[in-house]
Structure 1
């Protein structure tokens, strides 16, 4: 029997939705052959208790802990001080707590995390826990606790996402709160073995937001207890002449019965007594609405009964005495992807539902698919009046039985069936883990480069069944990476040997902790120091030498040391990819012949970088987009611009890219400002997506003398059918067929660059278009990213044999 640790702040006998869900799932897990152990908090005293819920799970171990959350603190403060301040806090506790949540989405119960973690750790050390299961509404304390337990003990955990608005229905988050939520949500979901949502809309939202979830997410309904409905219930009293419509649950803020009140007021043809019953907890807004409605219908045979929250079996008795049920949701986008928990009890009772909900919502689909009742658009009185009229008419004609769901539809939404599907999902994910999924570490000197240049490769490897982890210094792109991310401190500009030795140690300890099966190194420092660390740990690595940069351009003591380290490190590598023959030849001269191969650069997604028409058809525009360092020929581009502008002042010279990058050859912002003030160039700034700027240029220029691999900027431009001017330099010349897809100029020659740019200006638009077209054909044929992906998959399979 497998053991599953269920982490839930609320547990029976508390009679609130999350507590009921915890108890019911645990009960069915046990009947289906799993042993659930619940970790919950000690009695907090604010909520209605239903001891029949505890009776159902009397054979299940529940570990109850202390907690330092605001609710418990407020309660104890009130008990001990009896002060006016503590009394006021107690009375207004809910408002205070929701405001706290809007700032800190881990939520008001953060004080439970250390107690829960300690109890769970003790349990894990004494039992063999196969999985952790937790319930969350957004991201909060149980999910974070499960995350750290999973990380510490390598136990898979599963997250059940309740309705995405559940913890914050009416208090919008602060900016800090939203950032915290986004950070933890992504972190938790990345590590989770599986995610369960209670509504199909929630599943769709999460899948669109997090592409990595794909096969790790399912929709599984809340459901109802079929066994409760197998016994006989006392029907509606024959002496009850009123039409009885019931609502159960809680209403607050703008979730009110105003829609049905308005519909009834609009429908003045009602000639039968009507009784509206509300069972549950209701706030001031409801009471005010109720009094206003009663005042307006005092001359009509309409009554409202309000009943308190009650045990589940008594509630079912009351539901069976109804003719129909009510359901309300505000007409807002965030309420569309939810399925109200009481919907399933209404379904099982077999009476029609009058739903006032947003159109195209999950509730509307649920009701229409099962023919369970009537749907009106929330906030639309005419729509509400229409369904009230239809319901009354069919009640008189005794036609309501048609809204009873089929036995198959009912069975589909039983809690036992829901629990069985969850366990099947969990079994499948646990089985996948047993198959020893290999971990691949993708390592670079910036998170920006991983996000921009390695996302396609990581997606391909993910599809092949590998687990992806990424390692890079933190920058603003770290949060955008769709896979597990680990930060490492790295000075990309630095040549301090002590700093580099510390970097080597960081790689060593991080690799030892993460235990990757294969390491993919990109950029110089990971290629050198990451490889040394991998060698000591006997971890295979595949290195990508995308150009040799300034290391092989300049002659100095530092560059000689770096070259030596580069060569020594690469001798212990299982596979080295070069992006051009010249770089490969240099290493072969240094004795590295084995396990080398050529790649067509980083490859390019030719389906993403497609030709687009230029928006403005007037001035000719040359574009240079790159990391802005002197070695990329930026100075030569500016000098050429000056000369051409003297003859053709209308020609535009645009520069796009990052300034002050971590490189000794970086162009400072002050220099760029001088060029802009001079009127020589237009600086377009720093952008993530360059396609719009390439599309609005006529020719892309890169007069680089940097030791390039294959410049990505040229691949992007050629893929978008733009003619190119670049230097006859290593890597650059690979992209251009001279005179066919663009022009090559001499390295560091402004004269030759001006000559080639003037040649481009003299060409007809038709000739330039033909040049761009042939350039795209060359890219598809030689540089498509699928060629790169295939070689990487082959290399990884080879080194992991």
Structure 2
């Protein structure tokens, strides 16, 4: 296959790619790459991808699907896209995309960079039954398609990087980049909202694994303590994920008055400016953009003491850690910041400095481009 300086991105969730990774398209274009993004159709997201200088190839893939026939079709479609676009390098984002693109790239002798932004449902929690089978299957396909010298993996925390040991990937190169970065020009530190009440938000996909149940229970507990606080769920359910919160549950919480709900918005900066505290009681993360954005906005965070979450804050300086899956402990930690507004403001200011030193999206983009160049130059 004749190769040009073209990078092909394989993406399973177009809106997520636009909100978290579109900087990679812009950075690649600025560095002389021709770019193609292969992903499912999504009108708004595709417009943004095209406006960023990339071509688009429709790739039909079910992010949450496990049908063997469906996965074979997705693989054949991926093969056809690679054959047609003839990339010099492939970047695949998230495990399912890495599996499909990795096997294709092996057959066609193309370097690939796999970005693991979190191990997701299959690797979160105890493995039993079907989840155990899926883990073993994924590890087997990883070993078959990706254990070679022209493969690089980017992990967001050291715990997730242990995946290469489980899959027996002893020939690849490994890089660590803490998160997808934040545009510090778009999300800026604004004054905390005035008034005695405290506004507390959980901006994330509404999944059980994000700690939504614990957040709601903590809100109930703090209402019983008589705290003048408003709790907001900010985001949408993800019905392709087995742990998604349902609309019925949301409606019940709204009727109870324990939380308010703001569906997903593209203007997260404006939302963060209305909050005093950001909470993410997740069970596990890669490197949560929720906490990166919170830091850029100059807001203190409360998050779980688990991989990914604890990597994104400086405990006691930019935010506070709490035990995972413990709603009363979560309420206690949030209460500390409700009671001490000065501490909340100081932590927010420290968080902004931390974001400026560690999360600048321009630096994240530069490091990705370096990995692409290194990957293409390395002898296969």
Q: What TM-score results when the alignment is normalised by the length of structure 2?
A: 0.91
Tell me the CA shift for residue 617 of structure 1.
Answer: 3.2
Kept in 2, the 8 Å contact 1:448–1:475? The answer is yes
Structure 2 counterpart of 1:196 = none
Residue 788 (1) aligns with residue 364 (2): yes
Displacement over 3 Å in runs of 4+: 566-570, 588-591, 614-618
Residues 511 and 657 (structure 1 numbering): CA distance in 2 closer, same or farther, change over 3 Å?
Answer: same
Q: Residues of 1 paired with 2:103 and 2:207: CA distance?
A: 29
SS of equivalent residue, structure 2 residue 159: helix
SS of equivalent residue, structure 1 residue 800: helix
Q: Residues of 2 paired with 1:577 and 1:691: CA distance?
A: 27
1:461 to 28, 44, 62: 28
2:46 to 478, 496, 499: 478
Residue 582 (1) aligns with residue 153 (2): no
Tell me the CA shift for residue 618 of structure 1.
Answer: 4.1
SS of equivalent residue, structure 1 residue 454: helix
Residue 549 (1) aligns with residue 120 (2): yes
Q: 1:642-673: CA deviations, max 9, x gaps?
A: 11111225310001112234211111111111
Structure 1 counterpart of 2:310 = 733
Structure 1 counterpart of 2:109 = 538
Structure 1 counterpart of 2:11 = 444
Structure 2 counterpart of 1:657 = 235
Structure 1 counterpart of 2:345 = 769
Kept in 2, the 8 Å contact 1:446–1:474? The answer is no
Tell me the CA shift for residue 616 of structure 1.
Answer: 5.0
Kept in 2, the 8 Å contact 1:621–1:653? The answer is yes
Tell me the CA shift for residue 472 of structure 1.
Answer: 0.8
Q: Residues of 1 paired with 2:330 and 2:116: CA distance?
A: 28
Kept in 2, the 8 Å contact 1:628–1:657? The answer is yes
Tell me the CA shift for residue 731 of structure 1.
Answer: 0.5
Structure 2 counterpart of 1:503 = 74
Q: Residues of 2 paired with 1:648 and 1:566: CA distance?
A: 52
Structure 1 counterpart of 2:58 = 487
Kept in 2, the 8 Å contact 1:551–1:562? The answer is no
Residue 701 (1) aligns with residue 290 (2): no
2:329 to 744, 752, 755: 752
What is the number of residues matched between the two proteins? Answer: 364
Residue 559 (1) aligns with residue 135 (2): yes
Kept in 2, the 8 Å contact 1:570–1:576? The answer is no
SS of equivalent residue, structure 1 residue 485: strand
Superposed, which structure 2 residues align to 1:186-225 within 5 Å? none
SS of equivalent residue, structure 1 residue 581: coil
Q: 1:566-613: CA deviations, max 9, x gaps?
A: 344331452110100111134235433431111111122222211123
Structure 2 counterpart of 1:516 = 87
2:184 to 597, 606, 617: 606
Q: 1:177-196: CA deviations, max 9, x gaps?
A: xxxxxxxxxxxxxxxxxxxx
Tell me the CA shift for residue 498 of structure 1.
Answer: 2.1
Structure 2 counterpart of 1:645 = 223
Residues 799 and 746 (structure 1 numbering): CA distance in 2 closer, same or farther, change over 3 Å?
Answer: same
Q: Residues of 2 paired with 1:728 and 1:615: CA distance?
A: 28
Q: Which has the higher contact order (CA 8 A, sep 6+)?
A: 2
Tell me the CA shift for residue 560 of structure 1.
Answer: 2.7
Q: Residues of 1 paired with 2:348 and 2:67: CA distance?
A: 45
Superposed, which structure 2 residues align to 1:17-416 within 5 Å? none
Q: 1:365-422: CA deviations, max 9, x gaps?
A: xxxxxxxxxxxxxxxxxxxxxxxxxxxxxxxxxxxxxxxxxxxxxxxxxxxxxxxxxx
Tell me the CA shift for residue 773 of structure 1.
Answer: 1.2
Tell me the CA shift for residue 740 of structure 1.
Answer: 1.0
Tell me the CA shift for residue 497 of structure 1.
Answer: 2.0
Larger Rg: 1
Q: 1:8-58: CA deviations, max 9, x gaps?
A: xxxxxxxxxxxxxxxxxxxxxxxxxxxxxxxxxxxxxxxxxxxxxxxxxxx
Tell me the CA shift for residue 549 of structure 1.
Answer: 1.1
Q: Residues of 1 paired with 2:161 and 2:363: CA distance?
A: 19
SS of equivalent residue, structure 1 residue 542: strand
Tell me the CA shift for residue 565 of structure 1.
Answer: 2.5
Q: 1:418-444: CA deviations, max 9, x gaps?
A: xxxxxxxxxxxxxxxxxx861111221
Tell me the CA shift for residue 615 of structure 1.
Answer: 4.9
Tell me the CA shift for residue 756 of structure 1.
Answer: 0.5
Tell me the CA shift for residue 790 of structure 1.
Answer: 2.1
Kept in 2, the 8 Å contact 1:522–1:543? The answer is yes
Residues 442 and 616 (structure 1 numbering): CA distance in 2 closer, same or farther, change over 3 Å?
Answer: farther
Q: Residues of 2 paired with 1:774 and 1:616: CA distance?
A: 20
Kept in 2, the 8 Å contact 1:437–1:465? The answer is no
SS of equivalent residue, structure 1 residue 468: strand
Superposed, which structure 2 residues align to 1:668-707 within 5 Å? 668-706=246-284
- Structure 1 gaps, min length 5: 1-435
Q: Residues of 1 paired with 2:11 and 2:195: CA distance?
A: 40
